[in-house]
Amino acid sequence: MPTITLSAVAKSYGGGDYAVKDLDLTVPDGAFMCLLGPSGCGKTTTLRMIAGLEQPTAGTIAVADRVLDSVEQGLYVPPERRGMGLVFQNYALWPHLSVRDNVEFGLRMRKVPAPDRRSRAEAALKMVHVDDAIDRYPSQLSGGQQQRVALARMLAINPGVLLLDEPLSNLDAQLRLEMRAELKRIHEESGATIVFVTHDQLEALTMATDVAVMKDGELQQVAAPMDLYARPANRFVAAFVGSPPMAIVDVGPAPTGLAASLLHFVKSRAEGCAPAAVGIRPEALHLGAPHASAWREEATVEAVLPAGSSWTVRLRVLETELYALSYTPVLAAPGDMLTCWTEHMHLFGEDGGRISAWDTRGVGA
């Protein structure tokens, strides 16, 4: 199975702006890599370059030791010779062909003999759990089933690399949830290397083995989902990943109120540490009796928002609004005064980058 390597890849559509800038990215063999970022950050362009649908302006793309694009060497392998399967948001199935024929279509184009075609189509449809609808037409299927057929069509050609561009965005919330679990299972069963484009951080965190976060055409961080969440490399990733988002408080150069309180705490724990901003995730902000070593302040409850299994509380702390997320019932009412506290802060420097030494409290100590 193949590792995909992008080296110093850039793409300009003309006019001096770059959709993708100097991208170095390795998608490990068998990974489920999500390209994550806000609209326009270059995710689709990156995927289309891997697919061969766009040619890079600079750089090299290789799969295993086979170079597919090299601007320097004037080398370019067209999409149909890359051995990759693509599924896009609009997964057009042929309306006049049955599910079986839709899936067999790609195999027919590749001149696979009929009996082999038949068994491969059946196996692929079985894998995506729509084998019971094999003789139906696309109009007789739900959106989720159609999406599965589109996937089966790709899986049947047995690609080493599967490229998916927001394939779940046309589905309703329930189906999206189901399909996320299905895609994970399909990834494990097929062993394919998957690159998946999404702007939905939850989708990325739940499915991926590796997440690459992009902003303005530039790679911000590549990490396993929990590492990305626990140790975001900079303010952008910290604010983009997590819901409700991390509160990020600017603490320099002459902080007052909450900023002063946080900075005072940081300096008391790590002498010489001078962060520009302090971040607190809502679920790391607790209410009630604090741990001895924790940062704490008095908070006024502004609103309690129960959501069945969790409680979001809007607090006012030293004139600043903060959110706390609790997974145990919060029995407070607006106007109540409580102590809020945390032991988990994220520190960011002047350049927005994470001060990782703080995570082990080695800063300035």
* Smallest distance, ligand ATP to C-beta of residue 308, A: 31
Burial readout 290-302 (b: 16 or more C-beta within 10 A, e: otherwise): beeeebbbebebe
**In the complex, minimum distance from the CB of residue 81 to ligand ATP, in angstroms, rounded to a whole number:** 22
Residue choice 9, 34, 42, 215 for contact with ligand ATP (CB under 6 A): 42
Looking at residue 234, the DSSP 8-state letter turns out to be B
12 binds ligand ATP (CB under 6 A): no
State the minimum distance, in angstroms, from the CB of residue 88 to ligand ATP.
Answer: 11
To the nearest whole angstrom, how small is the minimum distance from the Cβ of residue 30 to ligand ATP?
A: 24
- Out of 2, 10, 37, 149, the residue judged to bind ligand ATP by CB under 6 A: 37
Structure tokens at 82: 């890359």
Task: Pick the closer one to ligand ATP by CB: 30 or 40.
Answer: 40
User: Of 176-215, which residues contact ligand ATP (CB under 6 A)?
Assistant: 199
Nearest to 345 by CA among 272, 244, 266: 266
40 binds ligand ATP (CB under 6 A): yes
User: Which span sits near ligand ATP by CB under 6 A: 35-43, 141-149, 295-303, 336-344?
Assistant: 35-43
Distance from C-alpha of 255 to C-alpha of 317, rounded to nearest angstrom:
15
Shortest Å distance, C-beta 220 to ligand ATP: 13
148 binds ligand ATP (CB under 6 A): no
The answer to whether residue 117 forms part of the interface with ligand ATP (CB under 6 A) is no
CA distance linking residue 232 with residue 241, whole number of Å: 8
Phi then psi dihedrals of residue 120, to 5 deg: -70, -40
Is there binding between residue 43 and ligand ATP (CB under 6 A)? yes
CB 294 within 8 A of CB 342: yes
**C-alpha distances in Å from residue 19, one per residue of 16, 55, 75, 172:** 10, 12, 21, 30
Using rule CB under 6 A, residue 56 touches ligand ATP: no
Q: Supply the minimum distance, in Å, between the C-beta of residue 272 and ligand ATP.
A: 39
Q: From CA 297, how far away is CA 46, in angstroms rounded?
A: 45
Q: Evaluate whether 124 touches 153 at the Cβ level (below 8 Å).
A: yes
Q: In angstroms, rounded to a whole number, what is the distance separating the alpha carbons of residues 337 and 352?
A: 33
Tell me which stretch binds ligand ATP (CB under 6 A): 40-48, 65-73, 76-84, 269-277. 40-48
Residue of the chain from 36, 41, 93, 247 that contacts ligand ATP (CB under 6 A): 41
Choose between 44 and 60: whose C-beta lies nearer to ligand ATP.
Answer: 44
| 39 or 139: CB nearest ligand ATP | 39
Q: How far is the CB of 71 from ligand ATP (least distance, A)?
A: 18
Q: How far apart are CA 118 and CA 113, in angstroms?
A: 9
Single residue of 45, 146, 234, 326 touching ligand ATP by CB under 6 A: 45
Q: How many residues bind ligand ATP (CB under 6 A)?
A: 11
Contacts 24+ apart (CB under 8 A), 293-298: 293/343, 294/341, 294/342, 294/343, 295/261, 295/262, 295/265, 295/341, 295/342, 295/343, 295/345, 296/339, 296/340, 296/341, 297/258, 297/261, 297/339, 297/340, 297/341, 298/337, 298/338, 298/339, 298/340
Instruction: By CB under 6 A, tell whether 13 contacts ligand ATP.
Output: yes
Which C-beta is closer to ligand ATP: that of 16 or that of 95? 16
Cβ proximity to ligand ATP, 46 vs 145, nearer residue: 46
Scanning 32-40, 63-71, 115-123, 178-186 for contacts with ligand ATP by CB under 6 A, the matching segment is: 32-40
- State the residues that interact with ligand ATP by CB under 6 A: 13, 19, 37, 39-45, 199
